Amino acid sequence: MPSRSPLRVVLAEDSVLLREGLVGVLTRFGHETVAAVGDADALRDAVSAYEPDVVVTDVRMPPGFQDEGLRAAVELRAVRPRLPVLVLSQYVQRAYAAELLDTGDGTGVGYLLKDRVGQVEQFVEALTRVAQGGTVVDPEVVRQLLRRRRDPLAQLTPREREVLALVAEGKSNAAIAHDLVVSEAAVGKHIGNILGKLDLPPADGTHRRVLAVLAYLRA
């Protein structure tokens, strides 16, 4: 992964400890942190000043310690729909993920549990995927959603749900095929079925995948 082109990252995290740690991790993987800030206003300024490749932000930040970071991310995406944003959350909450995915066309966004940064390789991989326009939803959100009975998804077979969960995590057909130990064609067939059952008519391929994930989140 360090072989990929280095990213210019703006980082917003109020805890100095974590901020330094994240900068360390990014540096280790060859990415450049152009600005590391501690609150939502500074994040907005830094994005204007540096026009980064990707933004990483905490949800909860000063002054209110509510969802300032998420709000700032949503606002930034409203002005720059193509700006990749990865949001780190203290705990997984569908409401936060759904709000974030509603911005732009739902591509180039990620919503991860803060704990995931400990799995440094996975974290940096997710960041790279988001920077490339992918969508990453924390597996925990997906797992919770699978637990609930929701009508649009009730018609999916267990295997199709499994595939949809992996799609929501931002994986490509090849990666899903690898994970499930099936052929890529089989994955394609499953995805076709999912899109059919969720009533998403054929259109631009990547887009429909995001819509499927959104259907999943909003159901």
Partner 1 sequence: MPTTTTTSTTRWPRPHLTAPCRSIAYLATGALLGLTVLLIGTVLVTLSGLLVIVLVGIPLLAALTLSGIPLAALERRRLRLLKPAETPAPTPHRTPESPGVAAWFRLRLREQATWRELAYTVLLALVLWPLDLLVVACAFALPALLIAAPAHLAVAGSGGIRPAKLWLVDGYPAATATALLGLVLLLVLLLPLVAYAAARAAFTRLLLAPRESELADSLAEVTRSRARLVDAFEAERRRIERDLHDGAQQRLVALTMSLGLARLDAAGIPEGPVARRLADALATAHAEADGALTELRELIRGIHPQVLADYGLTAAIEDAADRSTVPVDIEYAELPRLPEPVESAGYFAVREALTNIDRHSGAREARITAAHTRGALRIDVRDDGRGGADPGRGTGLTGLADRLAVLDGRLTVTSPPGGPTVLSVEIPCQAEAR
Binding site for partner 1 (CB under 8 A): 15, 17-18, 21-22, 24-25, 28, 60, 65-67, 90-91, 93-96, 113-115, 117-121, 144-145, 147-149
Q: How far is the CB of 51 from partner 1 (least distance, A)?
A: 27
Q: Is the bond preceding residue 152 a cis peptide, omega within 30 degrees?
A: no
Query: Given the complex with partner 1, which of 2 and 201 has the nearer CB atom?
Result: 2
Measured distance CA(111)–CA(92) in Å, rounded: 9
The helix/strand count (H/E) of the chain reads as 11, 6
Give the residue among 136, 199, 135, 193 at the shortest CA–CA distance from 159.
Answer: 193
Query: Given the complex with partner 1, which of 120 and 180 has the nearer CB atom?
Result: 120
Residue 65 sits at φ, ψ, to 5 deg, of 55, 40
Query: Given the complex with partner 1, which of 137 and 177 has the nearer CB atom?
Result: 137
Q: How far is the CB of 81 from partner 1 (least distance, A)?
A: 23
Q: How far is the CB of 116 from partner 1 (least distance, A)?
A: 9
Query: Given the complex with partner 1, which of 120 and 211 has the nearer CB atom?
Result: 120
Q: How far is the CB of 50 from partner 1 (least distance, A)?
A: 23
Q: How far is the CB of 151 from partner 1 (least distance, A)?
A: 9
Residue type (1 letter), 181:
V
DSSP-assigned letter for residue 31: -
Query: Given the complex with partner 1, which of 27 and 183 has the nearer CB atom?
Result: 27
Edge-to-edge strand order for the sheet containing 8-12?
32-37, 8-12, 54-58, 85-89, 109-113, 135-137
